């Protein structure tokens, strides 16, 4: 056995079973095997809980939430996201909290729970504003406009597009601003 192989073997032995299960889940996801991935992440979640590894529990819960969201199982996805969110709150991990908030908002939009999606995307928009992230703000405003249109609230959709246009105008992105203003006008006429 070469020195490099010995080091690789030692590194593998140092990993807990929970970590090995988690990594297997990631491999299954990469290979487009979501059922196998869910099983591996579930095993990792239980093992991380037994170890008292909060980060591992949060990561495994987040991955399980993603898998459930993809399958359309809104309740289970929310349950897993909530578990991960609580751990991130405990550790004041602002960026992980924000990532989960975006996933929750999309989940509600996909589930056609538009009122909840609007509330959650409003929080996402506020976070992007606080981070001074104009692209994130514009992207979120576009999603909000789509939700308002789905609800039949044309004036609110037009307002969202006008707000996106004003962000682009602030950066002298004239073409982009005009595109959003045109969308707002079309909605109000139609």
What's the CATH number where 94 sits?
1.25.40.10
Measured CA to CA, the distance from residue 18 to residue 26 in angstroms comes to 13
pLDDT higher than 60, residue 33: yes
Cβ atoms 34, 40 nearer than 8 A: no
Q: Which of 76, 123, 67 is nearest to 97 (CA)?
A: 123
Residue 94, domain member (yes or no) = yes
CATH number of the domain to which 136 belongs: 1.25.40
Residue 105, domain member (yes or no) = no
- Confidence band (pLDDT; 50, 70, 90) for 190? confident
Q: Supply 5's token pair.
A: 């192989």
pLDDT higher than 90, residue 1: no
Q: Are residues 93 and 124 in the same domain?
A: no
Residue 10's pLDDT is what?
A: 61
Q: Are residues 25 and 83 in the same domain?
A: yes
pLDDT of 7-27, one tens digit each? 656 655 689 999 999 999 999
Q: Which of 149, 182, 151 is nearest to 164 (CA)?
A: 182
Q: Which of 138, 119, 120, 115 is nearest to 128 (CA)?
A: 138
The residue range of the domain holding 167 is 112-190
Pick the last residue of a domain from 51, 77, 100.
100
Name the least confident of 2-6, 9-13, 42-46, 50-54: 9-13
pTM, rounded to two decimals: 0.87
pLDDT of 156-171, one tens digit each? 999 999 999 999 998 9
Residue 14's pLDDT is what?
A: 84
- Confidence band (pLDDT; 50, 70, 90) for 3? confident
Residue 149, domain member (yes or no) = yes
Residue 179, domain member (yes or no) = yes
Give the CA radius of gyration of the chain: 21
Residue 130, domain member (yes or no) = yes
Measured CA to CA, the distance from residue 55 to residue 11 in angstroms comes to 20
Mean pLDDT of 177-189: 95
Residue 134, domain member (yes or no) = yes
Measured CA to CA, the distance from residue 82 to residue 100 in angstroms comes to 9
Measured CA to CA, the distance from residue 19 to residue 16 in angstroms comes to 5
């Amino acid at each position: 056995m070469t020195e490099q192989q010995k080091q690789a073997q030692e590194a593998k032995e140092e990993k807990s079973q929970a970590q090995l299960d988690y990594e297997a889940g990631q491999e299954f996801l990469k290979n487009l095997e979501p059922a196998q991935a869910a099983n591996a992440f579930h095993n990792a979640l239980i093992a991380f809980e037994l170890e008292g590894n909060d980060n591992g529990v949060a990561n495994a819960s987040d991955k399980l939430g993603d898998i459930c969201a993809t399958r359309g199982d809104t309740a289970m996805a929310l349950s897993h996201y909530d578990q991960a969110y609580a751990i991130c709150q405990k550790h004041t991990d602002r960026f992980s909290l924000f990532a989960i908030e975006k996933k929750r908002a999309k989940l509600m939009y996909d589930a056609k729970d538009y009122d909840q999606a609007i509330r959650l995307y409003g929080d996402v928009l506020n976070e992007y504003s606080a981070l001074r992230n104009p692209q994130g703000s514009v992207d979120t405003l576009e999603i909000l406009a789509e939700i308002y249109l789905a609800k039949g609230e044309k004036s609110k959709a037009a307002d969202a597009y006008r707000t996106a246009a004003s962000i682009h105008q602030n950066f002298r992105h004239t073409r982009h601003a005009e595109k959003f203003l045109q969308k707002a006008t079309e909605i109000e006429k139609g």
